[in-house]
Amino acid sequence: MKNTQNLYLHLLGCLLVFVAVVACNPNPKKAKVIAGDDTINSGTIHISVDESFAPIIDSQIKVFVSLNPKARIITHYKPEADCLKDLLNDSTRMVIITRGLTDEEELFYKDTLSFIPMHGRIATDAIAVITHNKATDSLFSVSDIRSMLNGTSGYKYELVMDGLKATSTVRFLMDSVLRGQPMKGNVFAARNSEAVINYVASNPNAIGFIGVSWIGNREDPAQMSFQKKVRLAALQCANCTEEVYVRPYQANMAMRRYPLNRGLHYILKENYAGLGKGFVNFLTHEKGQLIFRRGYLVPDRMALQIRKANVTE
């Protein structure tokens, strides 16, 4: 009997503690909803996009809005670091950059929002190396690029980057080419990717670094005009049994032959069925993936067929 009374007293004590905790915290933490008056196919959202991808994302939005006339996507093109800063603001729902969230960033958003933003890879892009049409050199290895960037090369070129702030192109070259070495070469920044093209077109001693979506599409009139101004350099193949130099064409990117490949990712800070999810669905499914393919990127969410062909003159 005494044991039974002790058990009742113990249960009663636990119940009182539970009631006290609930009373002190009447509003337990819930996932923050970054809500608007939008749906998956209507409304207005702001997104920030790495400037390297302006041509291809402009094409994606143009088609998406034509299919969803009640939708409006206001795009802000800027350096990658600024896009990530925008993601901290409630006004920006989505960013499109060259990487997803790190583990630390996921923990940060889970703590501040009580949910982890959606993120994923949607296409493969590449950094194109461009030279003046009359430049004597148009074949380089990654070692050549590294030595020019760290200032140990015998080449005397000016190296032009695609932005005045920390861009995804600079980050990629620092991480994947220099691998921790300092950038000490004759490097300076132009205002944006188009400014890089114009500078290289006017200076035979300049080499530029831009996203391939600015110059790789041979069916785009604007990009065709860019291709007449500058030359796409070829880099030593990263996955070949013999010494071959390749340009950032789709097949070379898809087969990892071109050595300066990088991913294109979305990060969506939206935990309801809003316009951001509608646009992500578009980008990751057939229509959006076909636009990436037509824009001479490699779609990562659908199969890209590569066929051998013989060219005769």
With a cut of 70, list the residues of the chain below it in pLDDT.
Answer: 1-36, 303-313
pLDDT at 310: 59
pLDDT at 65: 98
Instruction: Report helix, strand or coil for 268.
Output: strand
pTM of the model: 0.84
Equal fold, 43-124+263-299 vs 126-261: yes
Secondary structure E strands in 133-225: 139-140, 158-161, 187-189, 206-211
For residue 189, what are the β-bridge partners? 161
Antiparallel, parallel or unpaired: β 71-78 and 43-50: parallel
Q: Which CATH class is domain 126-261?
A: alpha beta
Q: Enumerate the domain spans of the chain.
A: 43-124+263-299, 126-261
Cβ-contact 174, 108 below 8 angstroms? no
The fourth-level CATH superfamily of domain 43-124+263-299 is: Periplasmic binding protein-like II (3.40.190.10)
Express each pLDDT in 256-306 by its tens digit.
999 999 999 999 999 999 999 999 999 999 999 999 999 989 999 886 666
Cβ-contact 267, 118 below 8 angstroms? yes
pLDDT at 249: 92
pLDDT at 27: 52
Instruction: Tell me the C-alpha distance between 287 and 297, whole Å.
Output: 14
User: For 272, which DSSP code?
Assistant: S
Cβ-contact 268, 86 below 8 angstroms? no
